[in-house]
């Protein structure tokens, strides 16, 4: 009797984004109601989320208007999922990707229902957050646990935790960065800014490994370039609110570069898809700031998207997770025990 093909669902996690202008305010509300983002008890968190989302919605609508009215992150993630399916094809298993966005459609509930209907024999959880954080990876995983239980999913689950040093992840950044360096005519007079989304300092001080992993990624990328005397800085963007955030801040580094007459190449080191923080914040807002600050030339490296090295890295992580008896966390060997700290229970 012929052996049946094993169905493996790969769940791709990301934050998501509004798909139309009227989705902006509810998207923001979903973001700020997340206890991983606003760490105060109910009902205060609900009140804060309602107030902040209503206050920020008009500005956010203008940002998304510049992108055609909504975020491109879902179609771009679909492209990544299709590329990943192609990279995993040809073995004994049939792989299918499913998208679980944290703050707007398709939500984890939608992915879980689709996986249930498909009849998956195994589920691989794959965050599109290369560096682990309680505010992104852990939040998405906890939301998945809820959605999977609600859908009655019983298939065994394997989980990828993080991959800030995955060779293919680094190689993909190197390939894209080399292209921009070539367009710039080399690195003389140029500083490279590795820009990641910031976090409040108190989150890091509570044990979140995100900053350490971002800095690992940047150091590995700079080393892989192999350019002697390379001028590079790790910095953080998108800070909001009155809390003290980790630094240095990307906008302040842009101003400093202008005062020193340095041209800039900006690398979105923690974003794997183009979205508002790359297409608007980095390209438009920071591009304008660079011009105002006297930065001679300003370049931005694309997000990874479907760059072949990156897709192959994701495929390798899926295969490694399948073969693992625990949550796949390459960083545990480096002392950043992400999943153990989070107390997640999704392996097995």
Provide CB contacts within 8 A for 255, sequence distance 6+.
Answer: 289, 293
| Boundary residue ending a domain (5, 39, 65) | 65
331, part of any domain: no
- 32-37-40-44 Cα dihedral, nearest 10 degrees: 0
131, part of any domain: no
CATH number at residue 296: 3.40.50.1400
**Domain extent at residue 36:** 21-65
313, part of any domain: no
Ranking 170-179, 203-212, 325-334 by mean pLDDT, the lowest is 325-334
DSSP string across 31-44: HHT-TTTS-S-TTH
pLDDT tens sequence across 26-67: 999 999 999 999 999 999 999 999 999 999 999 999 999 999
142, part of any domain: no
13, part of any domain: no
305, part of any domain: no
Which residue from 46, 22, 35, 9 is spatially nearest to 105, judged by alpha carbons? 22
Q: Is 228 annotated as a binding residue?
A: no
The pTM of this model reads 0.94
Kindly tell me the sign of the dihedral angle through the C-alpha atoms of 222, 223, 228, 234: positive
Domain count for the chain: 2
Note the pLDDT of residue 188: 97
75, part of any domain: no
pLDDT tens sequence across 202-246: 999 999 999 999 999 999 999 999 999 999 999 999 887 778 999
Contact of 103 with 65, CB cutoff 8 Å? no
185, part of any domain: yes
Q: Is 253 annotated as a binding residue?
A: no
Contact of 57 with 25, CB cutoff 8 Å? yes
């Amino acid at each position: 009797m012929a052996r049946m093909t094993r169905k493996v669902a790969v769940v791709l996690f990301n934050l998501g984004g509004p798909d139309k202008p009227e989705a902006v305010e509810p998207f923001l509300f979903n973001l700020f109601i997340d206890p991983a983002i606003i760490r105060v008890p109910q009902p205060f968190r609900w009140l804060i989320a309602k107030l902040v989302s209503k206050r920020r919605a008009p500005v956010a609508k203008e940002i998304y208007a510049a992108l055609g009215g909504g975020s491109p992150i879902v179609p771009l993630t679909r492209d990544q999922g299709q590329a990943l399916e192609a990279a995993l094809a040809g073995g004994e298993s049939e792989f299918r990707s499913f998208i679980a966005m944290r703050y707007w459609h398709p939500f984890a509930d939608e992915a879980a229902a689709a996986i249930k209907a498909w009849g998956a024999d195994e589920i691989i959880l794959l965050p599109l957050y290369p560096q682990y954080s309680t505010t992104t990876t852990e939040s998405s995983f906890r939301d998945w646990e809820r959605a999977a239980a609600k859908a009655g999913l019983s298939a065994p689950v394997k989980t990828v935790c993080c991959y800030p040093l995955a060779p293919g992840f680094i190689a993909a950044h190197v390939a894209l960065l080399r292209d921009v360096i070539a367009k710039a005519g080399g690195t003389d007079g140029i500083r490279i800014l590795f820009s990641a989304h910031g976090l409040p300092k108190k989150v890091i001080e509570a044990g979140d490994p995100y900053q350490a992993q971002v800095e690992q990624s940047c150091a590995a990328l700079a080393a892989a370039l192999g350019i002697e005397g390379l001028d590079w800085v790790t910095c953080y963007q998108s800070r909001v609110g009155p809390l003290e955030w980790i630094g240095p801040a990307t906008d302040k580094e842009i101003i400093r570069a202008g005062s020193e007459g340095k041209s800039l190449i900006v690398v979105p080191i923690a974003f794997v898809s183009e979205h508002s923080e790359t297409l608007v914040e980095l390209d438009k807002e920071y591009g304008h700031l660079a011009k105002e600050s006297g930065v001679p030339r300003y370049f931005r490296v694309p997000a990874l998207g479907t760059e072949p090295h990156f897709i192959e890295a994701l495929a390798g992580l899926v295969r490694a997770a399948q073969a693992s008896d625990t949550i796949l966390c390459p960083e545990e060997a480096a002392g950043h025990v992400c999943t153990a700290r989070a107390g997640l229970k999704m392996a097995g």
